[in-house]
Amino acid sequence: MTFPLVRMRRLRRSEALRRMVRETRLSPDHLIQPLFVVPGQGVRKPVVSMPGVAQLSVDNTVREAEKAAKAGVPAVILFGIPDQKDAEGSSSWSKDGIVQQAARALKQELPELIVIADLCFCEYTSHGHCGVIDHNDPRSDVHNDRTLPNLGKQAVALAQAGCDIVAPSGMMDGMVGAIRKALDENGHSQLPIMSYSVKFASAYYGPFREAAESTPSFGDRRSYQMDPANAREALREARLDVEEGADILMVKPALAYLDLIRDLRENFEHPIAAYNVSGEMSMIEAAAQLGYLDRKRTILETLISMRRAGADLILTYWATEVAGWL
């Protein structure tokens, strides 16, 4: 018995045909541009390990955000590097904190732009960990429950500064519930929470720690960030965040965890965000500089893979550039 030859290639013959039947699409609306904010005026300090990325003073943060908005990117996410750090990261909830300053400037100049604030303490603490350390044992683990009220204070301060979304990233148990309660009690019940629900203790964060000046002064973050070997645990983490009031669920990193983006997409109706992290970016940039990869095609293929896995939103350092290509 013979079977007719199935002609799968008929719809691949031209770019127009391929575009017509394309299953997964990437648009500027899917992209979020991360920005690193530092004190000062006129500051643009390149991050060596992340080509095209720089630490920016507030005035230059506004300029970069303008470029993103003109390219069609609807949102930026801000990471702050303060001039002073302490054991609790108290500058993170100051009215004049560096992210609060940037948020006010952005909302004044670009009122339609969505301003997201990363909500954590690693950039603000003198020890570089994501919460309070026991004062009697400064090399001990992060104290989960003593960190939660501080997350609430930081969230309220960011909301008061005009941020449109807060994004807690510290992987503290109960963090979404504590933040939701603090926001609701202070008149910000309308503010969404984009939780880093599934955040792994990953080797891909190395370049980010240079950019955010957030390398721990001792130990690592494996006692509170997830073990890269675990998948079922990711669903438990996401489910808890949903129960506590999260509006958007994030997976970080993205490229090595596409299976978990798919798992969240199949199990939750919430928008799913994927963080295309610094190490993923730096690998492609390094390979492209050596001529091993076609840079543009590789970037687009990488981001499409995240959309195909189920991500509605992608945080990527290439957001503004990619939006200009689309």
Q: Which of 45, 85, 252, 296 is catalytic?
A: 252
199 carries an active-site annotation: yes
The C-alpha atoms of residue 156 and residue 158 are separated, in whole angstroms, by: 5
DSSP string, 265-323: HHH--S-EEEEE-HHHHHHHHHHHHTTSS-HHHHHHHHHHHHHHHT-SEEEETTHHHHH
Confirm if 161 and 104 have CB atoms less than 8 A apart.
yes
Query: What backbone torsions phi and psi does residue 250 show, to the nearest 5 degrees?
Result: -120, 145
Rg, C-alpha atoms of the chain: 20
DSSP string, 62-121: HHHHHHHHHHT--EEEEEE--S--BSS-GGGG-TT-HHHHHHHHHHHH-TTSEEEEEE-S
45 carries an active-site annotation: no
Q: Which of 107, 181, 199, 296 is catalytic?
A: 199
The C-alpha atoms of residue 276 and residue 35 are separated, in whole angstroms, by: 14
Catalytic residues: 199, 252
